[in-house]
């Protein structure tokens, strides 16, 4: 249900060499380092990794939501929509607010209940968003209900206040709000956290339906079970860098990076053994491969930082892949 077919033909988000650094008293945090990927309409890219690996910072960088102490390098070129390509990392906030957020990129937030205004009904918030995005519409109420239905809500659910919504319904309201402006790209930041399995399955089904409808979804998550059901491609992040990217079945069934293998082995329906140790501090990363202190396959070459190498469409940054 994305508006113009011509937009779909050329729409793309191309991220190259994205790095984000924060300066805090006495330290510099390397939150994201040299990350590159592309997302196109009709596909879901999942960005997975442990908490604190830089996934959410990356989403904030794309939407211009970084705090003032952040330094950003690289490019994130958003094309399509009949306008010249725009670098999200250098565009002024005014441009992002008026042409990008909600219109070309929608955000499905983590903890949707906290994202909604507690003192107004879901309907009031949805209709306000409809009026802001489509001021010419004569019947915002009907449009709001149509968008709500696409997100899997009943019109009667809309008359509730956020505290009367279950976690799953609040999640759908947040998804509906993200869909109002017809963005072709949705960034979903840990949308399944705190939901029970049935609700995760429903949300994953909804995201997949949006992808099959022609949207692109960048799914940021640590839920590997959900990823397996919705993503076309997976990018595994470790300590701010991409460790491995590839098609979903390849990454889940034949992981090449020891970290990816460790993460998959920690699932309760696999070995249920954790990756040993803790992730490194982003203020004090080792000079070579950041996974070395936790890796059983270490070789002397690991003192040098590995670059992503292509194994027929499946990329891995490791000197001794599995």
Partner 1 sequence: MLSATGLYAHGVVAGYDHRRPVIDAVDLAVAGGETVGLAGPSGSGKSTLARVLALLHRPYSGTLSIDGHLVTGYRHHAARALRTRIGVLFQQPRLSVDPRMTLRRAIAEPLRAARAPDVAARVRELAELVALTPDLLDRRPHEVSDGQLQRACLARALALSPGHLICDEMTTMLDASTTAALVAVIVDYQQRVGAGVLAISHDTVLLDRWADRVLHLAPTGRLDPATGRDRGERP
Among 23, 65, 18, residue whose Cα is nearest residue 37: 18
Among 257, 264, 261, residue whose Cα is nearest residue 241: 257
Which of 36, 99, 193, 292 binds partner 1 (CB under 8 A)? It is 193
Q: Which stretch binds partner 1 (CB under 8 A): 101-109, 150-158, 176-184, 277-285?
A: 277-285
Sign of the CA dihedral with 247 first, then 249, 255, and 261 last: positive
Contact between 271 and 233 (Cβ < 8 Å): no
Residue 98: other Cβ atoms inside 10 A:
11
- Give the nearer residue to partner 1 in terms of CB position, either 98 or 270: 270
Q: Which stretch binds partner 1 (CB under 8 A): 69-77, 161-169, 248-256, 304-312?
A: 161-169
Q: Which stretch binds partner 1 (CB under 8 A): 70-78, 134-142, 180-188, 191-199?
A: 191-199
- Give the nearer residue to partner 1 in terms of CB position, either 25 or 300: 25
What's the min distance (Å) between Cβ of 227 and partner 1?
A: 11
Q: Which stretch binds partner 1 (CB under 8 A): 3-11, 49-57, 63-71, 210-218?
A: 49-57
Q: How many residues bind partner 1 (CB under 8 A)?
A: 30
- Give the nearer residue to partner 1 in terms of CB position, either 122 or 165: 165
Beta strands in the chain (DSSP E): 12-24, 27-39, 44-48, 70-80, 83-87, 105-108, 185-189, 216-221, 233-238, 241-247, 309-311, 314-316
Tallying the residues shown for the chain, one arrives at 322
Which of 266, 298, 305, 322 binds partner 1 (CB under 8 A)? It is 266
* 52 lines the binding site for partner 1 (CB under 8 A): yes
* 202 lines the binding site for partner 1 (CB under 8 A): no
- Give the nearer residue to partner 1 in terms of CB position, either 129 or 221: 221
Among 186, 2, 19, residue whose Cα is nearest residue 100: 186
Bridge partner residues of 29 (DSSP):
22
Which of 134, 222, 229, 305 binds partner 1 (CB under 8 A)? It is 222
Q: Which two tokens stand for residue 127?
A: 């209709």
Interface positions with partner 1 (CB under 8 A): 49-52, 166-168, 193-194, 196-199, 222, 224-225, 262-264, 266-269, 272-275, 277-278, 281
């Amino acid at each position: 249900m994305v508006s113009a077919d011509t937009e779909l033909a050329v729409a793309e988000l191309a991220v190259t060499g994205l790095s984000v650094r924060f300066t805090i008293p006495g330290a510099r945090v390397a939150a994201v380092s040299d990350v590159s990927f592309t997302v196109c309409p009709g596909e879901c890219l999942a960005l997975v990794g442990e908490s604190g690996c830089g996934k959410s910072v990356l989403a904030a960088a794309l939407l211009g939501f970084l705090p003032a102490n952040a330094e950003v390098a690289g490019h994130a070129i958003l094309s399509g929509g009949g306008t010249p390509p725009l670098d999200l990392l250098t565009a002024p906030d005014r441009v992002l607010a008026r042409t990008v957020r909600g219109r070309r990129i929608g955000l499905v937030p983590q903890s949707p209940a906290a994202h909604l205004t507690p003192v107004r009904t879901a309907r009031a918030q949805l209709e306000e968003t409809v009026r802001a995005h489509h001021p010419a519409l004569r019947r915002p109420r009907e449009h709001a209900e149509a968008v709500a239905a696409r997100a899997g809500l009943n019109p009667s659910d809309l008359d509730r206040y956020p505290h009367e919504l279950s976690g799953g319904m609040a999640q759908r309201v947040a998804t509906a709000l993200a869909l109002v402006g017809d963005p072709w790209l949705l960034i979903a930041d840990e949308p399944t956290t705190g939901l029970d399995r049935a609700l995760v399955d429903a949300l994953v089904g909804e995201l997949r339906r949006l992808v099959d409808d022609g949207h692109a979804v960048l799914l940021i998550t640590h839920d590997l079970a959900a990823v397996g059901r919705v993503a076309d491609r997976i990018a595994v992040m470790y300590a701010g860098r991409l460790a491995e990217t590839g098609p979903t079945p390849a990454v889940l069934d034949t992981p090449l990076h020891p970290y990816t293998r460790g993460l998959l082995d920690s699932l309760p329906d696999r070995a249920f053994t954790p990756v040993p140790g803790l992730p490194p501090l982003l203020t004090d990363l080792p000079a070579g491969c950041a996974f070395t202190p936790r890796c059983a396959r270490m070789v002397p070459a690991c003192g040098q930082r590995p670059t992503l190498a292509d194994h027929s469409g499946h990329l891995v940054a490791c000197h001794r892949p599995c």
